[in-house]
Amino acid sequence: MSNIGHTPQEERAMLAAIGADSFETLLDQVPSALRQQKPCDLPPAQSEFELRRTLSGLAAENYDPLRSLSFLGAGFYDHIIPAAIDQIVLRSEFYTAYTPYQAEVAQGTLTTIFEFQSLICALSGMEIANASMYDGASAAAEAMLLAGSATRSERVLLAESIHPRTRGVIETYLDGSALEVLTLPERKGQVDLAALEQALTEKPAAVLLQQPNFFGLLEPLDRVAELQQRLSAETHLVVSADPLSLALLAPPADFGAQTVIGDVQPLGIPPQFGGPSAGYFATRASHARRLPGRLVAEATDAEGRRGFVLTLQTREQHIRREKATSNICTNSALMALRATIFLSLLGPTGLQEMAALCAARGQQAAERLCGIRGVARRHAGPFWREFVLTLPREAEDAVERAYEAGGVLAGVPLSRFWPERRRELLVAVTEKRTPEEIETLAETLEKVLA
């Protein structure tokens, strides 16, 4: 769409209408120190053809995932995405009104949301799931609010082994609220059970763990659940679970989890610079009226035909403000649709095979990389898809040299989250990484670490 600016006559008319002598007069309220004192240093205007050529040149400098090997993780992963997903998402049935308030014109959107909710319940073992969240971090924060509302307790416990960015979002979310955030220290990469046992005696609203955790390790959910049930049965056990891992691992519901949340990025959504993605939120049916966001349910019309409608929305936009339990009023419909299509295409068998391949390739990579002189796993114990290595030199430097040497994205240095962990590298190995590519990573690291 062309941008046609105002003419000088129109500008003078608008200024006269608001009683200003000039455009500069409008800026008097802005301190002069904050105002640009000289013209912007911009190149001359270009024609459409010239601009396309310039932008194409800039785009050619971007990272090309087809030419580089990615072992990046830390929350966003390079998984296989069936080509059919992009084509199905483009179907006109899924392009309805922006928001599905009018069920009669948004049956396509409502149907896909209902299927998404059903699939999330099947994976997590929970009774109800909402229409999706902005991302996994906002889902975790909303789970803390739900627990606080349900238990009337004013303290939540976060395992240090959850994603640091998730912890940051929760702390920001709860800043100014009645809920106090406490961190449970990690011990050998997992939640410290002794610290958890002591903290549970004070009856907190919730304890949040991640499965697998940020370091790729499996948390002892059975022992956590035993402590929680024995010491503080009213405390909500909240598990942030990778949805793909649930094809192999027992669902959190089996351990008595009250709420299961997470991010669906591994399910057919590319990393795309860290977003957008979608979070999922599943809980017990008893918490239905505290569920954040939207809930779609099945219904029948006057003629008995099957259809779908928005059923519950807990924001003050829809109910009395004093009864509102969340400020979330929307969902990430397009990303949730991608996840729904992904799960439908793979089915239970395909999903299990993909998760098993991640586990196998991760084990293969860990064994090969630990054969390099000076390299070892930081933590013992079972892991899935991701693990931490200790290197004989700073991880940030090794990662930079590995990319320069062969376009290998060797992993994420943990110093980006904990400055003191300068020699620790988080490596993610998905089903996309072949044995030959794992060998390339190993040979590249051997060179840069020599």
Whether the pLDDT of residue 234 is over 90: the answer is yes
Amino acid letter, residue 126 = M
- The answer to whether residue 386 sits within a structural domain is yes
Q: Which of 105-114, 169-178, 250-259, 358-367 has the lowest mean pLDDT?
A: 105-114
- Provide the whole-model pTM: 0.84
Q: What is the pLDDT of residues 292-338, one digit of tens each?
A: 988 999 999 889 999 998 887 766 556 666 777 777 878 888 999 99
Q: Are residues 323 and 431 in the same domain?
A: no
Reference 348, options 230, 234, 251, 232; nearest CA is: 251
Q: Are residues 321 and 364 in the same domain?
A: no
Q: Could you give the C-alpha distances from 49 to 52, 59, 100, in angstroms and in order?
A: 5, 15, 40
The distance from CA 213 to its chain's CA centroid, rounded to whole angstroms, is 13
Whether the pLDDT of residue 187 is over 90: the answer is yes
Q: Could you give the C-alpha distances from 338 to 120, 136, 140, in angstroms and in order?
A: 13, 16, 21
Q: Are residues 209 and 73 in the same domain?
A: no
Mean pLDDT, all residues of the chain: 91
166: left (phi over 0), alpha (psi -120 to 50) or beta: alpha
User: Do 157 and 206 meet the contact criterion of CB atoms below 8 Å apart?
Assistant: yes
Q: Are residues 375 and 312 in the same domain?
A: no
Question: Coil, strand or helix: which one is 349?
Answer: helix
Instruction: Specify the pLDDT at position 1.
Output: 47
Q: Are residues 87 and 76 in the same domain?
A: no
The distance from CA 239 to its chain's CA centroid, rounded to whole angstroms, is 14
Instruction: Specify the pLDDT at position 3.
Output: 67
Q: Are residues 331 and 275 in the same domain?
A: yes
- Tokens 């959910």 found at: 221
DSSP letter string over 285-344? GGGGGG--SEEEEEEE-TT--EEEEEEEE-STTTS-GGG---------HHHHHHHHHHHH
DSSP letter string over 244-259? TGGGTSPPGGGGT-SE
Average pLDDT over every residue of 220-228:
96
- Look at residues 342, 375, 393 and tell me which one is the last residue of a structural domain: 342
d(CA 340, CA 16): 55
What is the total count of domains within the chain?
2
- Look at residues 342, 374, 391 and tell me which one is the last residue of a structural domain: 342
- The answer to whether residue 420 sits within a structural domain is yes
Q: Are residues 318 and 391 in the same domain?
A: no
Q: What is the pLDDT of residues 399-443, one digit of tens each?
A: 999 999 888 999 999 999 999 999 999 999 999 999 999 999 999
Q: Which domain holds residue 280?
A: 83-342
- Tokens 């892991």 found at: 383
- Look at residues 288, 314, 342 and tell me which one is the last residue of a structural domain: 342
d(CA 41, CA 181): 46
Strand partners, 386: 428
- φ, ψ of residue 364 to 5 degrees: the values are -60, -45
Kindly report the CATH number assigned to the domain that includes residue 188.
3.40.640.10
- The answer to whether residue 2 sits within a structural domain is no
- The answer to whether residue 19 sits within a structural domain is no
Whether the pLDDT of residue 42 is over 80: the answer is yes
Q: Are residues 416 and 283 in the same domain?
A: no
Q: Are residues 215 and 134 in the same domain?
A: yes
Calculate what percentage of the chain has a pLDDT beyond 90: 72
Instruction: Specify the pLDDT at position 96.
Output: 58
Whether the pLDDT of residue 348 is over 60: the answer is yes
Q: 33-42 burial by CB neighbour count: b if 16+ within 10 A, else e?
A: eeeeeeeeee
- The answer to whether residue 29 sits within a structural domain is no
